[in-house]
Structure formats: structure tokens, C-alpha cells
Amino acid sequence: MVGSINVDLYQRLGGGKATFSGKPLSIVPIKGMTLPSASFVGMPAVKVERDGAGMACEPGNEEAFVLSMDGPFTQKTGGKGANAAAAAGQTYACEFVGNFGATSAAENKALLADLKKYGNVDVTRCTTLPGAPTGTAYILLFDDNDNAIVLIGGANQQWPDAEALRTGAEGAALRAAIAECVCVMLQREVPDYVNVLTAQLAHAAGKPVFMDVGGTDAPLDPALMAYISVIAPNESELTFVSGVSTTVDGKVDGAALRKAVAALKAQFAKRGNSTVEVLVTLGGMGSCHFDGAWSAADAAAHETHVGCFALGTPNKKALDTCGAGDCFRGSYVGARYGEGKSVLASMTWAAAAGSLAVEVEGAMPSMPPRDKIEERVARSIGSACFPFPF
């Protein structure tokens, strides 16, 4: 995994509002989303309410505005890169290549301990940057236990330039990790050029590239498209990377979902990649995989559908959805590329892992151990696994 690690700061919201220097601001417009500070502050629905409350923010000061969010917070370990690495480590094995910030020394000790505890993740080729903080994520929980996430990039955004990564000493660790892996996982809480360069190196080495598109609302960099083997959005991420809505009357719809996949695959085909696989996660509705030969004209033969597992919580509802998508994707990669499982078996394994993750508060602390995943997979025969809805 090449990606991000964050200090996660949790807060449960009252009425969907967080307070900034004592002033309440609705976070409902970004429910279910993960956004960098600038995107959050600049969202029209947020900006109107913020300006109306006299909470103006000058361009360039977005991170300072987010840092003015009032506590109290509960600190845990997260970051899309680190979470997925821990999940893959529980299933198979994983190395994490990313950046810590030296000014967050105390927090880094906890992060490193969690990477070891929750996934036995190899971090020997990570970098600690002087004068920089480790990334931070504000995890804002709603009454239904869904969340919104606002990011401060910190060390996650500070990498050597592309040429240094490609040929220089600064990129030696990255290049060695790619040479030794079975699959490269990417996500978008690091600069685009890092993902592009990593994908190019992996493609040249014959390694599959698995792309999580979460972490930003920016368009997918076209330079990436030629090198991605599997792109793995959730339904809302699929909408913004494809330009096609996945919903009808506010609900995810099968026909709309397939139109969005067709549009996304057409974008990849224009970049010379007509065989990209699309793996769409749908939360409580399961997941759907569209293989490299899929087309709207021949859909049924090239789709794999998996439902979701019944939860073991007392009320059968999720306790905390943060990190569940990262858990699914990391578990899928570990099963498919590490263990050589089929797409169906890998999706089933990942669904079991994701269902366990939402039963525990926190992102990385919710990554389930292998034995628990095995137990839940064994329940898939019968009513404990709900079918895919369309």
C-alpha cells in the first residue's frame, strides 16, 4: 500500500452540527463523504451557512479553519492507506509505504503500535519528515452512526518529486517495495503525481494496480487510467468519477449503476485501458464486480454480485462505518492477489470482514482478525448473508 496514515479525531455530533470557535455549522451536506479541508470549506451548502453565521474563511486558510473545530475528540488511528494495509495484513500480508511527520512524535508511537497490532503491517520503508505533522482526519459521527470525514494532509501531502521517486535515492524504498509485492494498492489522500508514478512503475513491473478513489472529490487524473487494473469506488464516488448518477429517486438503482460503470469504462478505454475491472461497494446493499470484458450489451456474463452479512450487534445495526470501505478493499486485495482466491470468494471474504468492521468503533481498531473473518464466512450458507438487491 502506498498512501496515507492519519491521526483520527472522533466526535459524535448533536443534530448533525459541529462547532467552530463556538459557532455551530451543519455537516449534513458531506455525510458519507471524505474531503480535504479546502473541498469541505468550499462546498456551496457549507459555504452559505458558514458565511451566514459570520464564519468567513480566506483562501489558503482552510486547514486553520478546520483546526478551529471545537472538541472534545477521541483519538484513534486511521488514514485510507493505513486502514487498507491493516486489513490486507490480517488476510495475507502488507507493507505500508507512506510518510509520518516528526512534529507528531507522540502520536506516531500510537500509530506505529496500531499498525503492528491490527495488521502486522511492515513499515520499515516509511519516511519521517522533519518539521511536518502527521496527517489528521476529523471523523464526525451522526446519530445513525454514518460519518463525514474532513482531512488535513500534513506529511501525507509531502513527497519527493516524480523524477526523484522514479530514479533517485529518495524513491529507492518505493521501487523496492513495488518489485517485491503481489499487488499495489493506491488511494487519493496523497498527491496525484505520487499515484501516477507508482502506477507506472507497478505496470512496468507487471504488478496489478488496485485503486481506491476515495479521499478527495477531485476528478480522477487521466494519467492514471492506463495503468489501473481495478478501480474500486463506492456508489457516490462512482457518480463523481463517471459523471453519471447511480441513483433514482434518491436510491441506488441497478440500471443507473450499470450506466455509470459503462461511462467510466469508456473513459478508461479512451486512455488505452479497455480491460479495467470495476468493483463497486454499496454499503448495506453489498458489492458488485464488473470484469474486464464487461459491457452494457453483455452484462450478466461478466458481473459478480455479493450481498452483505447480518451484523452481530445487539440491534443488528452498524456501530461505526468509518473504515469499513477500506477494510473491504484491503481484505479483497489480500484474498484475491495474496491468496489467489476467485473474484467471488474474495468479495465474500471482504464482505465478511467489512461487516465485522462496522461492529467496532474506530477505523484501524475495527480491522478484524483472520479467525473472525473465517467464522463469519462460514455463516454465508443460509440466511446470515443477504442477497444482492438487483
Q: What is the CATH number of the domain that holds 235?
A: 3.40.1190.20
pLDDT class for 268, splitting at 50, 70, 90? very high
Between residues 277 and 296, the one the model is more confident about: 277
The verdict on residue 23 lying in a domain is no
% of the chain residues with pLDDT over 70: 99
The verdict on residue 276 lying in a domain is yes
Selection from 50, 39, 6, 320 nearest residue 138 by Cα? 6
C-alpha cell at 256: 443507473
The verdict on residue 277 lying in a domain is yes
C-alpha cell at 47: 459555504
pLDDT, one tens digit per residue, over 364-384 is 989 999 999 999 999 865 556
- Stretch 91-116: mean pLDDT: 95
The verdict on residue 44 lying in a domain is no
Between residues 350 and 362, the one the model is more confident about: 350
Distance separating alpha carbons of residues 275 and 291, to the nearest angstrom? 8
Entry pTM = 0.89
Total Cβ atoms within 10 A of residue 353: 31
- Stretch 289-312: mean pLDDT: 92
DSSP 249: T
Distance separating alpha carbons of residues 269 and 264, to the nearest angstrom? 9
pLDDT, one tens digit per residue, over 310-347 is 999 999 899 988 899 999 999 999 999 999 999 999 99
The gap between the terminal CA atoms of the chain, to the nearest Å, is: 32
Distance separating alpha carbons of residues 373 and 51, to the nearest angstrom? 47
269 alpha-carbon distance from chain centroid: 24
Q: Is the pLDDT of residue 363 over 90?
A: no
pLDDT of residue 387: 79
pLDDT of residue 215: 80
Average pLDDT, the chain: 93
Provide the CB-side half-sphere exposure for 41 (13 A, CA): 21
The verdict on residue 141 lying in a domain is no
- Stretch 216-228: mean pLDDT: 93
Q: Is the pLDDT of residue 293 over 60?
A: yes
The verdict on residue 108 lying in a domain is yes
pLDDT of residue 384: 63
Q: Is the pLDDT of residue 389 over 60?
A: yes
pLDDT, one tens digit per residue, over 1-49 is 999 999 999 999 988 999 999 999 999 999 988 889 999 999 898 888 8
How many domains is the chain partitioned into structurally? 1
Q: Residue 191, preceding bond cis, omega within 30 degrees?
A: no
- Stretch 60-89: mean pLDDT: 93
The verdict on residue 54 lying in a domain is no
How many residues are recorded in the chain? 390
Q: Is the pLDDT of residue 304 over 90?
A: yes
Sign (positive/negative) of CA torsion 136, 117, 328, 293? Answer: positive
pLDDT of residue 330: 98
pLDDT of residue 303: 95
Residue ranges making up the domain that contains 256: 78-135+153-386
Instruction: Lowest mean pLDDT of 55-59, 230-234, 244-248, name the range.
Output: 55-59
pLDDT of residue 32: 85
Distance separating alpha carbons of residues 265 and 301, to the nearest angstrom? 17
pLDDT of residue 168: 97
Residue 190 near residue 75 (C-beta atoms within 8 A): no
Total Cβ atoms within 10 A of residue 225: 21
Q: Is the pLDDT of residue 79 over 80?
A: yes
C-alpha cell at 354: 467489512
Q: Is the pLDDT of residue 56 over 90?
A: no
The verdict on residue 113 lying in a domain is yes
% of the chain residues with pLDDT over 90: 80
pLDDT of residue 322: 85
